[in-house]
Amino acid sequence: MVKKIKNWIALSLIPQIIFVKWLGSYPVLIENYYSDGIYPWISRFFRILYGWIPFSIGDILYFILSVLAIRYVIKHWLEIKTHPLRFLRNVLFILSVAYFSFHLLWGMNYYRQPIAQQFGLNEKHSDEELLQFVEELIVQTNRLHFNITKDTALAIVIPYSKNQIMDKTLIGYKNLEKTYPFLSYKNPSIKKSIFSTALTYMGYGGYLNPFTHEGQVNGRLPNFRFPVVAGHEIGHQIGYSAENETNFIGYLASIYNPDVYFRYAAYAYALGYGLSDVRRHDEEKFQELYAKLNPGIQKNFKEMADFWQSFQNPLEPVFKSIFNTFLKANNQAQGIKSYSAVVSLLVTYHKEHPL
C-alpha cells in the first residue's frame, strides 16, 4: 500500500507542473484568490511561528535535510546501484512533495499580476527619460551624501549593527503602508542567514525560505547595501516574487524611512542600477555621469565591488546559472537579468513622484 502511494505521488509531479503552468496563465485569478487571498494568511502564520526565534530555522532545516540525504546515499549505495528505478521513484516522490509544498506556500506568487499595475505604472521608458532620471538621482545622492559627511571625499559608513538595520527597516514599511496599504508588513521574520559566508561565495545577497517564510539576509554584506536588501527580502515575504519588483519595494521601503542613512542607501542602490543601464548602451555617457558623483559615493561603490571581487570563485557562475534556470522556470523570462529590470519601475515611478 505504501509503495502504491509513493508511486502515485511520484507520478503526480508531471500533472502538477502542467496544472501550475495552466493556472499561471490566469494572473487575475492568482492575484485575487492566492496572492491577496490565502497567501497572506499562510505567510503570517509562519512568520508568527518562527519570527520570534533569533536564528534561522529554515537554514537549520536545509542543513539537516542535506546531511540526511548524503547519509542516505552513502548508507544505501549498494541498494541504489542494484535498484536504480526504486531510487529514482524515491527521488521523484520527494520532488513531487517539495514542488506541491513550494507552490502552495509561496511559489504561486510568481504568476500574479505585475506590481506595475498596482502602482498604475507603465514599465517602458525612453533613453531620454532614463538619462534624466540618472541625472536627477546624481544631484540628490550628491546632496544627501554631503549633508551626512560635510566632505565630498568621505565614504559614508552606516553606523548601525545588522540587527539595528533590520529593526529600522520595519519603520520604512510602516510609513510605506500609509500610502500603499497593499505593502503592509506585520509579524516580522527577518534574520541574518546562518550560511551568510556560503551565500557570499554563491554571489547572493539573501533569500526567502518559502517553507518557513523567514527572510534571510546575507550578514556579510557591507552596511552600505544591507538596508535595501533587507527591504527586498521582506518584499518577497509579503508576496512579491519577481526580483525587479522586490528590488523596487526594497528601494521604496528605504526612501520612506526617515533615517538619512537608509535614504542614502536607497538612492545609491537605484543609481547603481541606473548607471549600469546607461553603461550597457553608451560607455562614454556612463563615464561622463559617473564623474559627476562625489568621490565619497564612488568609494562606496568601490567598497561593494571590492567585497564581491574578494569572494569570486569558479563555482559562483554555476550557482548563478542554476538560479537563472530556476527563475526562468518560474515565469521570469529574463532570469537573473530581471534584477536590473527594476530600472523601468524606478524611472516611471519617479515621473509621477519626482525626486
| Tens of pLDDT, residue by residue, the chain (355 residues) | 667 888 888 889 999 999 999 999 999 999 999 999 999 999 999 999 999 999 999 999 999 999 999 998 898 888 888 888 888 888 899 999 999 999 999 999 999 999 999 999 887 888 888 999 999 999 999 999 999 999 999 999 999 999 999 999 999 999 999 999 999 999 999 999 999 999 999 889 999 999 999 999 999 999 999 999 999 999 999 999 999 999 999 999 999 999 999 999 999 999 999 999 899 888 999 999 999 999 999 999 999 999 999 998 887 777 667 666 666 667 666 655 655 588 999 999 998 888 8
Phi, psi of 120 (to 5 degrees): 65, 40
Q: Which residues pair with 217 in a beta bridge?
A: 192, 206
∠ CA(346), CA(216), CA(268), 5° rounding? 30
Residue 146 shares a structural domain with residue 289 = yes
Residue 124 shares a structural domain with residue 54 = no
* pTM of the shown model: 0.93
Residue 148 shares a structural domain with residue 267 = yes
Residue 106 shares a structural domain with residue 153 = no
Residue 144 shares a structural domain with residue 62 = no
Per-residue pLDDT at 340? 58
Residue 65 shares a structural domain with residue 135 = no
Residue after which a domain boundary falls, among 111, 126, 143: 111
Residue 225 shares a structural domain with residue 335 = yes
Residue 91 shares a structural domain with residue 226 = no
The C-alpha atoms of residue 262 and residue 90 are separated, in whole angstroms, by 48
The C-alpha atoms of residue 83 and residue 91 are separated, in whole angstroms, by 13
- How many distinct structural domains can be found in the chain? 2
Residue 145 shares a structural domain with residue 101 = no
Instruction: Cell 509579503: give the residue.
Output: 238
Residue after which a domain boundary falls, among 111, 134, 160: 111
Measuring CA to CA, how many Å separate 316 from each of 192, 201, 204, 215, 272?
Answer: 21, 6, 9, 22, 21
Per-residue pLDDT at 333? 62
Per-residue pLDDT at 318? 72
Q: How far apart are the first and last CA of the chain?
A: 65
Which residues constitute the domain of residue 196? 116-352
Residue 81 shares a structural domain with residue 143 = no
Residue 77 shares a structural domain with residue 124 = no
Residue 101 shares a structural domain with residue 159 = no
Q: Are 69 and 136 in contact, with CB atoms under 8 Å apart?
A: no
Q: Are 215 and 312 in contact, with CB atoms under 8 Å apart?
A: no
Per-residue pLDDT at 182? 95
**DSSP notation for 47-107:** HHHHTTSSS-HHHHHHHHHHHHHHHHHHHTHHHHHH-HHHHHHHHHHHHHHHHHHHHHHTG
The C-alpha atoms of residue 33 and residue 254 are separated, in whole angstroms, by 30
Per-residue pLDDT at 125? 83
Residue after which a domain boundary falls, among 111, 131, 160: 111
Per-residue pLDDT at 71? 92
